[in-house]
A and B are shown apart, each in its own frame.
Chain A
Amino acid sequence: MMAKKMKGSSSSSSSASVEMLKKEGSSRASMIKNKILRQAMYRREKLIKLKEKREKRKKLAKEREQLGENAPPKPIPKTLESTREPEETTVLADDPEILQDEKTDEFSGYFDRKTSPKILITSFTRAHLRSNLLMRELADCIPNSDMKWRRGSEIKSIIPEAIERDYTDIIIIEENRKIPSGLWLIHLPEGPTAYFKLTNYKRGREIKGHGTPTSHYPEVILNRFSTKLGHTIGRMFASLFPQDPNFKGRRAVTFHNQRDFIFFRHHRYIFRDSLRVGLQELGPRFTLKLRTLQKGTFDTKFGQYMWMHNRKKMDTSRRRFHL
């Protein structure tokens, strides 16, 4: 009974209050004590605002069209990346010392075409379903790669054997609560070793409209690895894949760095016509974040760290990025 009464009373007063608010503007919306009415009010206001915005945008576009070439340049939106703190270690294309350093570093053999990549993919001991799937998918994605069961062998004993068998890199998937949580990338024979946090793993089948990968050599796209550290990581990723992609296969593997998160994507593209390109994702899909970079091969205890992520000391600004 009471509820009915209240409902009745509110409906009778509602029309009056809405009228009042229409006149007085939005500032009074928060004064309405009836939640349903208040929300309705907000919704309406939001719609009006959106409409105004749309009209403003249209007006601007029209003006721009009328001005033609004389139109002022479009303002660049302020994002965390565009307002990024200037990084001293950003690699310039013509820096002779950096160029010489990269010419003689551990990956120079790959870039000089003296070695061709051969990858060993394994996991931490007792890997579960998701990690096994990721291993398999990576093995499908990376040419010349072998997936091996770990069988409890130590990483430090795997490394010399892998070097003996001419492997150039080892990928190790780490898991936590049966979900892949980390990725070790060990470059052989002299390092370096990178450790990434791995999140948001999605297997190919879970992606809508996915395809199946072919055995063509993919193209590798490395986006926004700008600092010296980023360059090293980028070179590490590049040296996982053979140099000459089979363009016929139209496969592309992307490592896209955005705010220090590295997004791994695997696509097949198709030229629909001279303008449009279609993309079909093949999977897997995951995100990496660099935790440590070590000189030499895997040695967590006595290794020399070239870079260690220290959240307390390094993440003091949202606009500072390391890669």
Chain B
Amino acid sequence: MASDFIGDVWVGTSLGVLKGLSVSNKQTLSFLPAGFPLEKCDRTREVMSMSWEHKSKERFYMGLRNGKVLLFDCQRNYFAAETDLGGGGGCGHFVGIAKHSHNLITCNDKGIISIWPDSQEKKSEISVGGPVDVMSASPEVDLMMATGGKNNDLKLWDGNRPDALPIFKAKNVPHDYLNLQVPVWVTSIGFVPDTGERPCIAVGTGYHHLRLYDTRGKRRPVYSKLWEEAPITCLDVSSDGRYYLVGNSHGKIARIDIRKGTVLNRYHGFGGSVTSISSWSGEDDNVFAACGLDRYLRVYRTEPPQIIHKAYMKLICNQVLMSGLHTNSDKEDTDGEEQDGKERVRVGKKRKRGKVSEDADASSTDDSENELWEGMEQVVTLNNKRKSKHKIN
């Protein structure tokens, strides 16, 4: 059962149980390290942080509250490794974990970034200066991390220069209309892809600000906008870097235009706080998974906003990662029963295409004409993209 399971979404829960969800099969499976039964699980094994080992999304790291780090292989569905990096608790819990080439980067809530080479000897430590709520690593540049927390504004660090000062340090926004200092509480950070050495960083705060920093320019954010009235708990930037998804502690999720900070769509359904969001872009499909304290995992299509799947996870969900949206045909190349709405859409499209080509065959069976039809098909997809572009702008 578990061996031929292809997971689309992976959820880290409050007991350290990993849950894998297959959207097309509507199947949820629980995973635990070998020789570690459920009876031993408790809140000390709460999953605090999760991240992919590599962009290929084949394996991911899970940081637990007790300082242990697990490596899970989603191709073969087993825990490949477990290491203890916490030193027996007391060192705070993970707020971020990442893998850059051969270095594992962890950060605890007390504000210590540790870089572990493969030999597992602690290579270097960076003190961020005060407790932090979140650490996020750049998806492109090696050993580049961003941190932030309460009264600890966004800072960008270079792991190759552990003793040096941060390469970027945000400056707080100007005082408000009463000439009072705007409080600082960074709760979520997202790197905008393809921005290289001097990245753009989207930030959500506990005081419900949405901010975008351009580290090439000034130290103050490009914009700082208020969204809703509850603390922002999670943020995920899309792979094309045009928008990001944010969730808050009242269970609200929105898609935000990265350049303007305006709300593009809202996604409904959560009964409690959203804890984590992970987005995924396919060829013609953008979807994201979000989980929360109401013990549900929800998978949404971004445009038009629509819930694809909802699954009860039984445990409180802390972290989510989305590896893709596999169809049944990915597993076995047969046309099985396709219940999913998304697949129906795809089938419909195929049928349309088929019809068109059949008609063409009936009128004049010419290869060049067939090619022409195929060409038209591409124009259709281009049109769609243009439409969506207009909407985003």
Residues of A whose CB lies within 8 Å of any CB of B are: 88-89, 95-98, 100-101, 103-104, 228, 293, 295, 302-308, 310, 313-314
Check if B15 sits within 8 Å of A307, measured CB to CB. no
Determine, out of B77-85, B266-274, B378-386, the stretch whose residues face the partner at the interface: B266-274
Complexed CA–CA distance, A308 and B269 (Å): 12
Residue B279 lies at the interface, judged by CB distance under 8 Å to chain A: no
Fill in one digit per residue for B285-314: 1 if any A CB lies within 8 Å of its CB, else 0. Answer: 000000001110000000000000000101
Residues of B whose CB lies within 8 Å of any CB of A are: 14-15, 17, 30, 38-39, 41-43, 206, 231, 233, 249-251, 268, 271-273, 293-295, 312, 314-316
Check if B43 sits within 8 Å of A302, measured CB to CB. no
**Residue in B14, B38, B233, B272 with the greatest tally of chain A CB atoms within 10 Å:** B272
CB proximity of B232 to chain A, nearest CB, Å:
11
A-B contact number at CB 8 A: 62
Interface of A, secondary structure class, is mixed
Complexed CA–CA distance, A96 and B41 (Å): 11
Q: If the complex has contacts A100-B39, A305-B251, are A89 and B273 also in contact, measured as CB distance less than 8 A?
A: no
Check if B231 sits within 8 Å of A302, measured CB to CB. yes
Complexed CA–CA distance, A17 and B38 (Å): 80
Complexed CA–CA distance, A293 and B273 (Å): 11
Check if A314 sits within 8 Å of B271, measured CB to CB. yes
**Residue in B14, B42, B271 with the greatest tally of chain A CB atoms within 10 Å:** B271
Complexed CA–CA distance, A303 and B17 (Å): 25
Instruction: List residues of chain A with CB within 8 A of the CB of B41.
Output: 100, 104
Instruction: List residues of chain A with CB within 8 A of the CB of B15.
Output: 97, 100-101, 104
Instruction: List residues of chain B with CB within 8 A of the CB of A307.
Output: 271-272, 293-294
CB proximity of A208 to chain B, nearest CB, Å:
41
**Residue in A101, A303, A306 with the greatest tally of chain B CB atoms within 10 Å:** A101
Check if B38 sits within 8 Å of A304, measured CB to CB. no
Q: If the complex has contacts A100-B41, A302-B206, A304-B233, are A295 and B293 also in contact, measured as CB distance less than 8 A?
A: yes
Sorted nearest first, the 10 A-B pairs with minimum C-beta distance are: A304-B273, A104-B42, A306-B293, A306-B272, A88-B312, A97-B314, A304-B249, A305-B272, A307-B272, A305-B273
A-B contact pairs, 27 of them (CB 8 A): A95-B314, A96-B38, A97-B15, A97-B17, A100-B15, A101-B15, A103-B42, A104-B15, A104-B41, A295-B273, A295-B293, A302-B249, A304-B233, A304-B273, A305-B249, A305-B272, A306-B272, A306-B273, A306-B294, A306-B316, A307-B271, A307-B272, A308-B250, A308-B271, A308-B272, A310-B271, A313-B268
CB proximity of B43 to chain A, nearest CB, Å:
5
Complexed CA–CA distance, A266 and B39 (Å): 38
Instruction: List residues of chain A with CB within 8 A of the CB of B250.
Output: 305, 308
Complexed CA–CA distance, A265 and B58 (Å): 56
CB proximity of B36 to chain A, nearest CB, Å:
12
